[in-house]
Amino acid sequence: MSAAVDAVGILGIGSSLPERVLTNFDLEKMVDTSDEWITKRTGISERRILEKEKAAYELGACAAIKAIEDAGIRPSDIGVVLATTSTPDYLVPSTACLIQEKTGAANAAAFDLNAACTGFVYGLTVAKQFILTGFCKYVLVVACEALSKVVDWKDRNTCVLFGDGAGAFVLGPAEKGFGILDSYLKSDGSQGRVITLPCCHMEEEDIAKRAGKAKNVLWMDGSEVFKFAVKAVTDAIDGLLEKAHIKLEELNLIIPHQANIRIIDGAAKRLKLPDEKIYTNIHKYGNISSASIPVAVEEVVRAKRVKKGDYLLFVAFGGGLTWGSTLVRWNR
């Protein structure tokens, strides 16, 4: 057991994106779509795609190694490796175990958490408890996704939306009043069938929806998810501000899950947020599921857009259905 601590902060950050870029113009040659449609309806110009022979956990390990170096700790100091993914390379061994081996975090417990695109927000909340209770001093949270492996490349409704990438945080003890202050987590399993990615079993209802009855590919009712997402973002922001007794005006930056620029712009408009208070990078990467928030945070930090004491809010939504948010007072 480590000593129980007052606050848990972000001590190290890393990200890793595949080199291969797939543009909207490349997609025009693959399905009946256009750069104009994709840009106007989603805000996406290009996305990164992992080489076929590579595994998602390799991206995750690369992001994790950078985060460990950034935190200035040894891999052996890590007590828990928690991987968030809805695209695991293997169900067994878990992505977290594969990353543990690659990073040399030999003393850690390791497990995966799947809350689809909300996974990283869920993961931070779970990870924080291990440190707060004194179970261990450091937790590595790695979001690791390769949507390109589960997308139906013949389905224009989904294949234009997603990309691959990984991001990681090392969490550890922080100064009181700083770090991860609070979280708001929700789910509604009754609406879960609007995004499905079957694995070991597939029901007739889901088979019927898929073109050519394609198995093991992602299917989504885009407009239903869109309607849910608009409400979820507002609920997750309002709910957390109320819970944490923080005013919207006090936030320095909101980092939302990057699924569709219209969802982000709609939320910004409703909240009357100026553009500089909401971060977007969807044009470069598309939707990289649970990895979109840590990848965005890494960019924001590298661009020196945050300073100690700033209030940041991460907000996400996705399959399950799940949604949630995390409030951080920047501790570095």
Binding residues for ligand ACO, per CB under 6 A? 33, 37-38, 41-42, 116-117, 156-157, 160, 195, 222-223, 225-226, 229, 259-260, 263, 287, 289, 318-319
Alpha-carbon span 31 to 302, nearest angstrom: 36
Q: Shortest gap between Cβ of 296 and ligand ACO (angstroms)?
A: 15
CA distances from 21 to 28, 46, 257, 305, 318 (A): 14, 7, 20, 26, 24
> In terms of CB distance, is 311 or 323 closer to ligand ACO?
323
Alpha-carbon span 132 to 4, nearest angstrom: 6
Report yes or no: 252 and 312 within 8 Å, Cβ to Cβ.
yes
> In terms of CB distance, is 139 or 225 closer to ligand ACO?
225
| Residue 31 neighbours by CB distance under 10 Å | 14
The encoded tokens of residue 27 equal 């997609």
> In terms of CB distance, is 265 or 310 closer to ligand ACO?
265
Q: Shortest gap between Cβ of 163 and ligand ACO (angstroms)?
A: 12
| Residue 23 neighbours by CB distance under 10 Å | 13
- Strands (DSSP E) found in the chain: 7-16, 21-23, 46-48, 78-84, 109-113, 138-146, 164-174, 179-187, 195-196, 219-220, 253-256, 311-318, 322-329
Q: Shortest gap between Cβ of 85 and ligand ACO (angstroms)?
A: 11
Q: Which of 24, 114, 260, 287 is catalytic?
A: 287
Q: Burial of 135 by CB count in 10 Å (0-12 exposed, 13-18 middle, 19+ buried)?
A: middle
Is the C-alpha dihedral spanning 145, 99, 60, 184 positive or negative?
positive
DSSP state of 308: T
201 is catalytic: no
> In terms of CB distance, is 103 or 114 closer to ligand ACO?
114
Q: Which of 114, 136, 144, 257 is catalytic?
A: 257
Q: Where are the alpha helices (DSSP H) in 72-210?
A: 95-103, 119-132, 156-159, 204-209
Report yes or no: 159 and 286 within 8 Å, Cβ to Cβ.
no
Q: Shortest gap between Cβ of 48 and ligand ACO (angstroms)?
A: 16
287 is catalytic: yes
> In terms of CB distance, is 8 or 263 closer to ligand ACO?
263
Q: Shortest gap between Cβ of 170 and ligand ACO (angstroms)?
A: 25
Q: Shortest gap between Cβ of 61 and ligand ACO (angstroms)?
A: 22
> In terms of CB distance, is 180 or 321 closer to ligand ACO?
321
Q: Which of 97, 117, 144, 159 is catalytic?
A: 117
117 is catalytic: yes
Active site residues: 117, 257, 287
